[in-house]
Structure 1
Amino acid sequence: MSKPWAALLLVLVQIRCGRGCPGPCQCFSAATVVCADDAMTALPLNISAQVRELIVVASGLTHLDGCSFRESLRLSKLVFLNGQVRSVSGDAFERLPELRELEISGNPWLTLQVQAFGSLPNLTRLMLNHNKMGALDSRIFDSLQKLEMLQLKGNSLLSLPDRPFHRLHNLQELDLSFNQIGSVPSDVFQNNSLLRVLSLQANMIPELPAGIFAHLDLLEELNLRGNRIRNLSADVFPHSLQKLVLKKNDLAQLQPSLFHTLLHLTYLDLSQNQLSEVPANLFQNLISLKKLDLSENRITTLPGTVFKGLFGVKAIHLQKNNLSSLEEGLLTDQHDVEQLYLSMNHLRRVPYGFFDDLDFQSLVQLHGNPWHCDCGIQYLSHWIRNNLRNVEDVTQVYCQAPEFIRGHSLVSVDEERLVCGQNSSSSHTNVTEIPAEGHDGVHCSLRDVKGQATIQCKLTKCTGVKFQAIFEFGDGSESERVVSQEWPAPAGCSNGTT
């Protein structure tokens, strides 16, 4: 289609669907009107009776009151987004009896009168995000008995009033994240027995009162990320939980029975805490668990049975801890693991057969550990070479020791060099000078590092070098194995002899 015809068609669509469309707005559907004009200080008058959704973005409106809607409308959805709304009066929505969804978000320093939502008994969804309200009146939501979803994110709330949600018997989703709430009353959710999703993320809560979730028998998701929680009582979480996020708190230890009743839990995030150890039976009854995140803690060791019985787990994240060793049999029940992250720890080796229970589809992280590339790492080296696709950043799995291969990628080191000598337990390095016959410009030395012998030569003149080694047995007889290699003088060399 040519551009002129396309433009004409667009105009016709706007004329047909937007007949009677308010001046500063766009109407590409008979049911939806979108107004985006920072010069608009009042809502348009000629909104069609067919309109069900009115969306106002970045307008100059500062107040919503009884005069904002000068005619009764059959709106089911109303949105004020990223504007300048400062206040909402008690009669602001009296002409919108059919409203089901209301959002007023991104309007700085919003003030709500107590009866602001008093004329909206049919409202099921209310979003009041990033308005910096600072405080709530305990009666503000009393009339919203059909409300199913309430969002109050980013409003600089320092605390919650006395039982602000006690009349919201049908509430299923509540988001109080990104505020500054320092404490929560134990009965704050007492009448919200249908609640399924609750977020208290990014607040300043130091502890959870006993019984705070006692009445939430249907709660499936609980997000407590980014608070200051130090301790958790064993009976604090409802049995119905499927997803629990405790990331970025101040947890230093956990009671062994903390999660024992969470038989339906599929996702558990304990990352970015202060944990140095994990009780052996902490995850004992988590038979439904799919993802476990323990990353960015201070864990030094893990009990060999800590993951026992987690047959369905798909992801175990242990990166950025202080693990220096791993118990044999740690992964015995983890046949279906798809992600095993062990990077950025203090591991030097893994037990023989450690990864044998993993499926071919597993993705393993091993980089960022000080791998000791001697005979004790032969199993890991062999496993990596046979499972290159399963190791993330495989070329970044470096050897920290012995000294002569420090900084080398493990997969680049010949497996024949992964040996332990008789003196491998000693850290002493023996150095013996080797005379270079006929070449005063060549200085060589034999270095014995933990039983591994290497020869290093340094040229002080421009000269070619021929190296020949004959191996002898302990009785002095020569071996048939002879190594010979010759290197010519570097190109451009002219001040020496060969």
Structure 2
Amino acid sequence: MSKHWAAVVLVLIQLHCCDCCPDLCQCFSAAKVVCSDESMTALPVNISAQVRELIVVTSGVTLLNNCSFRENLRLTKLVVLNSLLKTVSRDAFERLLELQELEISGNYRLSFDVQTFSSLANLTRLLLNNNKISALDAGIFDSLHKLETLQLRGNVLAYLPSILFHRLHKLQELDLSFNHISSVSADVFQNNSLLRSLSLQANSISKIPAGIFTCLDHLEELNLRSNLISNLSAETFPSGLRKLILKKNALAQLPHNVFHKLHHITYLDLSQNQLSKVPSNLFQNLILLKKLDLSENRITALPGSVFNGLFSIKSIHLQKNKLSSLEVNLLKDQHDMEQLHLSMNSLQSIPHGFFDDLDFQCMVQLHGNPWRCDCGLQYFFNWLRYNEKNVEDLTRVYCEAPAVIRGHRLVSVDKEQLVCGKNSSSEFHGSSIPNVTEIPVDDDEGAIRCSLREVKGTASIQCKVTKCTSVTFEALFEFADGNKQESFISEWLAPAGCSNRTV
């Protein structure tokens, strides 16, 4: 076909669609009609028999009943979105026997009769979101034997009849989030064995009944975020879970075996709870876990073996806790990790060897900690020399102590400044670095700074000379019997041509 004739045919098709398209609507094809006008108070009745999808957005329609749809209409998809709809009568869909997808969302205080959906035997998707629905009769979904997706999010449901979903044997996705549900019965999901995704996010549930998820052998994703859950039992979750979200609840402690059956889980979110301790074997057997979020809890310390066996882990979030120290072997199995968030804790130092098992591509967050920039931080300081690009927001990593460099960025501190005072102990800072003592120097200009380090009975002095000057080293030995002996050790001469003049 030539380009000329193709253009003519296209124009004719468009003219034909314009002739049959209802007022206030657009016909994108013979099978799809979209209507959007606030002045529209009823659905158009002059819809072509060829139309399969009718989408009504932001209209003034307040009622759907038997007269809303012409006879012999073969719709497979109907959407009524963000309208003024208040009532859907029991006979509204009697003529839509081929309907497969129905969405009625974004309306106000919508109510349904228990028989409203009884004629929709072919329906596979039903979305009733953000309608301020306050109650649902027990048998309202009983005829929907083919239903696979049911969304009821953003309503004001406070109660779920225990048999509400019992006839939905093919249900795979159920969204009950953002309602006012305070409790659920143990058998509410007992006939939904094919369910793969279940969301109860943002309700007021305080207790998960024992056995409520027992029959959900195919459940892969469970979202319990933003509830009031304070306790969990060992048998709560089905073994097939891949994603579990418990964020923003009231969990203060967890049974050590609560997750042991979750051999397939890849994502676990425990953030924004009240956890202060984590059992050492809490994550045992989670060999496929890739992301673990423990942020925004009250954790003060972690057992050194708590992450053992997490060979697939890519991301661990521990920010905004109260961690004051870290075990040196905490990350021994995490060779392929990509993210480690330790920001906004109470860490003063990093134990020697802590980062040694991490891959060079792992990004680390460390800002917001009160770092003590003395001898106990030398391992971390040396690690940064080769891994500076792996620390996010490194310029926000500040020294809290000692007082002389408080507020300094760690990247601006010289290694020679990382010394410990006479009363400091490396053990106090959680480091295996030998004790280092700063040596006072009677030097008004501050040209010489020295420190004494003791390693297995051998003492060594390290000095930094910042100006052109000669230095004589002398040592005074005091023995256990009180005798003293002064001994000349060495002299360092300023190099030839050395000058303190400024240019």
Q: Same-fold call, TM > 0.5?
A: yes
Q: Distance in 2 between matches of 1:13 and 1:226?
A: 52
Equivalent position amino acid for 1:398 in 2: Y
Q: Distance in 2 between matches of 1:295 and 1:144?
A: 42
> Quick check: 1:18–1:29 contact (8 Å CA) kept in 2?
no
Q: Secondary structure at the match of 1:67?
A: helix
Equivalent position amino acid for 1:29 in 2: S
Q: Distance in 2 between matches of 1:486 and 1:11?
A: 87
Q: Distance in 1 between matches of 2:216 and 2:367?
A: 43
Shift of the 8–23 alpha-carbon distance from structure 1 to 2, 3 Å rule, reads farther
Q: Is residue 223 from structure 1 mapped to residue 236 from structure 2 by the alignment?
A: no
Q: Which residue of 493, 497, 501 corresponds with 1:480? A: 493
Equivalent position amino acid for 1:291 in 2: K
Matches within 5 A, 1:273-292: 273-292=273-292
What's 1:173 paired with?
A: 173
> Quick check: 1:258–1:282 contact (8 Å CA) kept in 2?
yes
Q: 1:396 Cα shift?
A: 1.3
Q: 1:469 Cα shift?
A: 6.1
What's 1:493 paired with?
A: none
Q: Distance in 2 between matches of 1:481 and 1:355?
A: 40
Q: Distance in 2 between matches of 1:133 and 1:302?
A: 45
Q: 1:398 Cα shift?
A: 1.2
Structure 2 gaps, min length 5: 1-6, 429-436, 454-460, 476-487
Matches within 5 A, 1:384-423: 384-423=384-423
Q: Distance in 2 between matches of 1:433 and 1:81?
A: 81
| Deviation by residue 1:408-427 (Cα, 9 ceiling, x = unmatched) | 22122122222234443599
Equivalent position amino acid for 2:147 in 1: L
The TM-score with structure 2 as length reference comes to 0.86
Shift of the 296–469 alpha-carbon distance from structure 1 to 2, 3 Å rule, reads farther
> Quick check: 1:197–1:222 contact (8 Å CA) kept in 2?
yes
Q: 1:361 Cα shift?
A: 1.6
Matches within 5 A, 1:37-76: 37-76=37-76
Amino-acid identity (%) = 65
What's 2:124 paired with?
A: 124
| Deviation by residue 1:171-218 (Cα, 9 ceiling, x = unmatched) | 010000000100001110011111110000000000101111111111
Structure 1 gaps, min length 5: 1-6, 437-443, 455-465, 489-498
The TM-score with structure 1 as length reference comes to 0.87
> Quick check: 1:431–1:446 contact (8 Å CA) kept in 2?
no
Equivalent position amino acid for 1:348 in 2: Q
Q: Distance in 2 between matches of 1:116 and 1:255?
A: 45
Matches within 5 A, 1:80-479: 80-425=80-425, 471-475=471-475, 479=492
Q: Distance in 1 between matches of 2:345 and 2:177?
A: 32
Shift of the 430–298 alpha-carbon distance from structure 1 to 2, 3 Å rule, reads same
Q: 1:473 Cα shift?
A: 1.8
Q: Distance in 1 between matches of 2:502 and 2:358?
A: 47
Shift of the 82–424 alpha-carbon distance from structure 1 to 2, 3 Å rule, reads same
Q: 1:271 Cα shift?
A: 0.3
> Quick check: 2:472–2:492 contact (8 Å CA) kept in 1?
yes
Q: Distance in 1 between matches of 2:365 and 2:197?
A: 32
Deviating 4+ runs (over 3 angstroms): 7-14, 16-19, 421-436, 444-454, 466-472, 475-479, 481-488
> Quick check: 2:421–2:438 contact (8 Å CA) kept in 1?
no
| More divergent stretch after superposition (94-103 vs 469-478) | 469-478
> Quick check: 2:364–2:392 contact (8 Å CA) kept in 1?
yes
Q: Distance in 1 between matches of 2:89 and 2:387?
A: 66
Q: Secondary structure at the match of 1:55?
A: strand
Q: Secondary structure at the match of 1:15?
A: helix
> Quick check: 2:292–2:315 contact (8 Å CA) kept in 1?
yes
Q: 1:472 Cα shift?
A: 3.9
| Count of paired positions | 465
Q: Distance in 2 between matches of 1:41 and 1:139?
A: 30
> Quick check: 1:433–1:445 contact (8 Å CA) kept in 2?
no
Q: CA RMSD in A?
A: 3.0
